[in-house]
Every structure is written in C-alpha cells, then in structure tokens.
C-alpha cells in the first residue's frame, strides 16, 4: 500500500479514538469494555427484533452481565464519556467536521448504533489495512469491505437509515485526498450498503 495513503488512514480521528479506548488494557474501569457490552447488546437486539424500535431500557436489559441506566448514559447521549463524534469535532478538519455533523444525534440509542457500527466494522478495516492494497485500488477495496460487512451484519447495517460506519466514511475521504467531501462520502457508502443488501 502506498505510504501516502496508509499513514493517514492510521491517523484518522476515529482511528485515534478507537486506538485510545480499545488499547486500554486496564482490567478495572475499562470504558471500552463497557462500551463493547452495549455495542453487543444493540447488535443482538437489532438482529433478534428487527421490527421493534430500540429504547435505552431495552438496551440496558440486553446488556450483559450488568446493564444499568447510569452506564448506558456513560456510553451514549450528549454527556457520554469519549464519544466518537467529539473526536471528529476536536480533529477540526473540514471533512471531520462534516462527518461529525452527519453523525450528530439527539437520540442516544442512535448514537450508540453509530458507534456499534464502527466497532463491528473495525476487523474489516484492519484486514483492509493489513492487505497492503495499493493507493488507486484502496477505494474499491474499501467499498467491497463495506458491502461484505453489510451482508454479514445486515440488521446493524440497515439501522438508522443504512448509515455506514463512520470510520469507513472518514477513510473514503482520506483515500480521495480532499476530492470527496465527508457528506458525499457518507451518501456514497449508504448506497453501497443499500445495493449490497438488495442483491443479497
């Protein structure tokens, strides 16, 4: 992979957010571990009850082993700790701000779904980076990864209007080196998800 593409992909706002939280190996008071409990609960609920709206209460009830209202609001909502969207805002670049605006949610459950999409897509992203795909081929490889993720995580992919994982949107803007705005990248990947699921 071209270092001019690879290095920025490893330093995106969401990559920094994920690395800082998921890289915490502390056994106690590990916020990423707590977030992951709620991400898993969201994905399981969406898959098992696709026609029922999620509420904070249903997510708390599904969060094992000990979901609670207080921990739910630590990981989701306007005052949650370490929100992904805050990392994009802090980054301050134009595309990061556009993506933050696209993913700014008033509903804490939708915010949790957005972060759960990133969590579930992350292994696909890691494989993509490890493959060493050359620069010009990175965009089709990313699109293929998003389509594969959507087919494997269909209920999560469909949630919140087929919104793509925010990290994939940010990656697409980086790959295009300023030629594709964050909002347009989100729209393009939403269509990738819709097309992949329609063909499945």
Q: What span, in angstroms and rounded, lies between the C-alpha atoms of 190 and 145? A: 13
Q: What is the mean pLDDT of residues 145-158?
A: 97
> What's residue 27's pLDDT?
62
Give pLDDT, residue 22: 87
**Long-range Cβ contact pairs of 180-186 (< 8 A, separation 24 or more):** 181/94, 181/95, 181/98, 182/94, 182/95, 182/96, 182/97, 182/98, 182/99, 182/102, 183/98, 183/101, 183/102, 185/95, 185/99, 186/99, 186/102
pTM reported for the whole predicted model: 0.91
Q: What is the pLDDT of residues 59-115, one digit of tens each?
A: 999 998 878 888 889 888 888 888 899 999 998 888 999 999 999 999 999 999 999
> Is residue 3 predicted with pLDDT exceeding 50?
no
Domain spans, the chain? 3-199
The 10s digit of each residue's pLDDT in 120-137 is: 999 999 999 988 777 778
How buried is 149 (Cβ within 10 angstroms: 0-12 exposed, 13-18 middle, 19+ buried)? buried
């Amino acid at each position: 992979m071209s270092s001019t593409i690879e290095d920025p992909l490893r330093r995106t706002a969401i990559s920094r957010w994920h690395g800082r939280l998921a890289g915490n190996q502390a056994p106690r008071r590990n916020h990423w571990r707590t977030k992951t409990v709620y991400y898993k609960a969201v994905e399981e609920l969406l898959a098992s009850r696709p026609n029922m709206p999620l509420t904070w209460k249903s997510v708390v009830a599904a969060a094992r082993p000990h979901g609670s209202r207080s921990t739910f609001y630590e990981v989701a909502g306007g005052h949650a700790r370490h929100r992904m969207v805050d990392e994009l805002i802090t980054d301050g670049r134009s595309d990061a701000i556009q993506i933050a605006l696209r993913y700014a949610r008033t509903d804490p459950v939708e915010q949790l779904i957005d972060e759960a999409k990133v969590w579930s897509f992350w292994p696909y992203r890691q494989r993509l980076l490890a493959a060493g795909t050359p620069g010009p081929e990175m965009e089709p490889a990313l699109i293929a990864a998003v389509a594969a993720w959507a087919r494997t995580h269909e209920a999560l992919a469909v949630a919140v209007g087929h919104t793509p994982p925010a990290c994939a949107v940010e990656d697409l803007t980086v790959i295009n080196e300023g030629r594709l705005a964050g909002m347009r990248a989100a729209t393009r990947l939403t269509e990738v998800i819709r097309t992949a699921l329609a063909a499945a």
